[in-house]
Structure formats: C-alpha cells, structure tokens
Structure 1
Amino acid sequence: MPFIFMLTRNDRTVEEAEAHLDVALEAGVRHIGFKDVGLPEARLTALRDRIAGAGGTCYLEVVSEDRESEIASARAALRIGVDVLLGGTRGREVAPIVAGSGLRYMPFPGRVAGIPSVLHGPAEAIVASAVELAGLDGVDGLDLLAWRYTGEVEALIARVAGAVGKPVVVAGSVVKPAQIAALCSAGAWGFTIGTAALDGVFPARAPGLAGQLAAILAAEEAAGFSRLGWPGLD
C-alpha cells in the first residue's frame, strides 16, 4: 500500500505509539513510520521490531534543521534498522553515510524550515533541487512536503514526479480524500498521514483511530493508485 501511517503528531513520535501501532497492524496497515524525536531510541527500535515482525516496512522521517542533528538522525536510522529514511535536506552528506546499508533514502527537495516543517521557495527552485537530489548515488526517491507549500500544490507534485523518475512520497497535511486523489493523479508514489489520523481529522464513518485508518485505506483504493515499482516495498 502507498499509505504510510506515521506514529507522530506535529513532527514528534507520540508517547502512545505502541498502542497506535497495535491498531494500525490490526487494520492491515503495513507501511508505518515515526520521527527520531519524541521517544528514546530503544522504544523506536522496539517499534521497528514489531513492524518487521508483522511483515511491514518501517520508515524514519528526519525533521532536524541543523547539520549535526541531521547526520546524527541518519546514523540513528542505521542503528534502529529501519527500511526507509525519509526527510532531511543534506543529501550529499547523508547519502554516503547510508550507502551500502540496504537502507532506502528519500530526502526533502527544496528549502525546508520550521517545526512543523514547511516547504519554501518558487516551484522552479524546488524542482531543480529535486532533480539534483534524485541524481545522487544512494538517493532512492524524494519526500515532498507538498501541502506545506504555499504555491500550486498539484502542479508542484506533477512537476517533481515527472522530473525525477524515482518514487515521490507526499508528506505532511494530507487530511481529506480529495488530496489523496489529487496526489495520485499527479504521479506521487505514496503519502504519509500522522496527525490527521491521530486527531480524528480525516472524514470517517467510524470513530477512533481504527475508523480513521479504514477511511484512509478506502480513499487510497478509490484514488486508484498506480505506483512506480520499488522492489522490496511493493
């Protein structure tokens, strides 16, 4: 499934992550991630072990703004043993760190700043950044903060996805089915949702997190995702 459920709220892994993971696995979600902020590394490793034990794919998304923290996060991703490292902006420095580890790496294109992270800059600069990052050895795809961008979102997704030829995950502020349909039509490989599901924002027929996840999965199916192939994550 291209839906990646993030055990996060406002760019931090939540204290109740283990309980939310139970619900997600019961709902059939198998692409699950967290941030490297909010819980100690030992608990993140335990989450990763449970995701792997259920046959899932584990993601860690980096939200660090300074160089030292971003590099430390990449090294933590290797220690924890996640499958995919999302986010961060220093592709030239991080790619060599994760090279040869089997870890998939998908950094943020464009200028990203703030907590929660916001995507800044004209579309042309974001696309140019995406092309540059995607061309680096060790970069397997991109993590695009499309709905945290103030310009024409759908056009930006389409331009980035069309320019790079690698999987593009749309992260941040996906809160309704129309957005899922739009990012699918624009050529995105997948999308993340965390806060919206945990806070009950996504339109759903049933209450609670289970109802949220069921609604998101239904919206994903209705959107008719046709993904770029990515061996090991299909």
Structure 2
Amino acid sequence: MHHSNLIVMLTYQDFTVQNAYQIFEECKDTAAQYWGFKDKGLPEIEMKELFNYMKSCGKTTVLEVVEYDEAKSLEGAELAKACGADILMGTTYFDSVNTFCLANHITYLPFAGEVVGRPSILKGDISQIVEQAQKLSERGVSGFDLLGYRHEETPEALIEAFVEANDLPVCVAGSIDSYDKLDFIKRVNPWAFTIGSAFFDHKFDGSFSEQIDKVVQYISQEDALPS
C-alpha cells in the first residue's frame, strides 16, 4: 500500500529560513526523500547550491512558489529550472507556466482553488475547487498543491473530497502540526504532504531530524501512537 510522502519544507511562515543549508546538512540522513523550500528568503545563488547538494544526496527537490499573477508565476517556474528543482509547487495555474514546465521536464503542481495572501489562505467551496481541478487535469498538469488546512471553512471535508475526486497526485500543503492531523492524512492518503513551520516549532517533539523520522515512521504504520 502506498503511504503519503513527507515533503520537508525548510520554511517558516512561508519564507525559507536563513540556515536552510545547515539544517539539511544535519538531517540529510533521515528517512525523508522529498525536500524543498519557498521562492522567498534566500538569494538565488544559495538556492541553487542547496538544491544541487540535495540532489547529490539523492533527494527529490521541490520549489514552492507563492505567486498569483502570470508574470511572477512564470518567473517562479524559470527559477525552478535555474535551480534544477524536480517539482514546482504553487502558483496560480497559467497555461504559460504549464507549457514551460512541460518543455523543461519539471513536475508542475499548481495551487487548487483561489489562494490569496502570505501566509496563504484558500478560498472557494468544495465543488468549485474540485471542478476547477478536473479542468486543469485535462490541460496536462502533473498534480495539485492543495492548501487544505488553510481553507477558510471546511478544511478536512475539502481535503477528503478533493483527494477522492482526483486521479492525479495531490500534495496537502501547510499547517500540518499535530498527530491528529497526521491521522487524518493517513486515512485520506494523498500522494504527499508538507511540514515546515511545525518542525521549527517542535510540534512533533525532538530535534529537527528526530521529528522527521518520527513523522515518516508514523505515517507508514497502519496503527501508531506518538512516543
């Protein structure tokens, strides 16, 4: 059985942390395969260095871009290419971004629904968000970046309905900060989920690397209790 993948985000409150390289260095031998950060917080040269190092350690790399207009979203895609990111998460969907990612072999997971602000908030009702995703599926996107727990009204109902309605990979991103939420993720079983700020706030107890391994182990067990 497939278990949801943890994407470790070296971000706090939607910005990449200054010591992201150091944290990855300390945690590179943990069980997490997927590693990423946001497009804001580090100079581009440092982002390139970090992604190169992650890839040399055999990791799959993720750049999440929080942008809502076409020009800035396309800049984010160009940054993903320049940094050698395997996956671009985020941006409002635009054909130009999708075309760019397809041409450059970048896995593109645009935001599902209407996303605003930073830290981001997800708006729209469940049926609208699901319907929009089905239309985007036909345009060749690789999957979706669903800010499920950032939804204004019914986060868990939205996540469950969205994952059930989509054949493409869904990453539930943002605000996963408890074992209760991990239990829900285990039940719904999306392709992936992100954790960033919660690791910095020690929501899963222990050092950064200990928390990563705890979460990976917990999500992969059929029945588990936090130690």
TM over 0.5: yes
| 1:124 positional shift | 1.2
Residue 34 of structure 2 corresponds to which residue in structure 1? 31
4+ residue runs over 4 A deviation: none
Cα distance in 2 for partners of 1:38, 1:193 equals 17
Cα distance in 2 for partners of 1:195, 1:171 equals 11
Give the one of 182, 185, 190 matched to 1:183: 185
Q: How many residues were matched structurally?
A: 220
SS of the residue corresponding to residue 26 of structure 1 reads coil
Which runs of 5 or more structure 1 residues have no equivalent in the other structure? 225-234
Give the one of 154, 157, 174 matched to 1:155: 157
| 1:60 positional shift | 0.2
Cα distance in 2 for partners of 1:66, 1:91 equals 9
| 1:99 positional shift | 1.5
Residue 48 of structure 1 corresponds to which residue in structure 2? 51
Cα distance in 2 for partners of 1:154, 1:91 equals 27
Cα distance in 2 for partners of 1:208, 1:162 equals 34
SS of the residue corresponding to residue 29 of structure 2 reads helix
Alignment deviations for residues 31-79 of structure 1 (CA, whole Å, 9 cap, x no partner): 1001111111111111111111111100000102332211111111111
Query: Is structure 2 residue 56 aligned with structure 1 residue 57?
Result: no
SS of the residue corresponding to residue 103 of structure 2 reads coil
Q: State whether residues 155 and 186 of structure 1, in contact with CA within 8 Å, keep that contact through their aligned partners in structure 2.
A: no
SS of the residue corresponding to residue 39 of structure 1 reads coil
| 1:218 positional shift | 2.5
TM-score, normalised relative to structure 1? 0.88
| 1:223 positional shift | 5.3
* Equivalent residue letter for 1:24: C
Bigger RCO (CA 8 Å, 6+ sep): 2
Q: State whether residues 123 and 151 of structure 1, in contact with CA within 8 Å, keep that contact through their aligned partners in structure 2.
A: no
* Equivalent residue letter for 2:217: A
How much identity, in percent, do the aligned residues show?
32
Counterparts in 2 of 1:109-148, with a 5 A limit? 109-137=112-140, 139-148=141-150
TM-score, normalised relative to structure 2? 0.91
Cα distance in 2 for partners of 1:61, 1:83 equals 11
Residue 171 of structure 2 corresponds to which residue in structure 1? 169
| 1:26 positional shift | 2.4
Pairwise CA RMSD: 1.6
Residue 20 of structure 1 corresponds to which residue in structure 2? 23
Identify which range, 48-57 or 62-71, moves more after superposition. 62-71
Residue 231 of structure 1 corresponds to which residue in structure 2? none
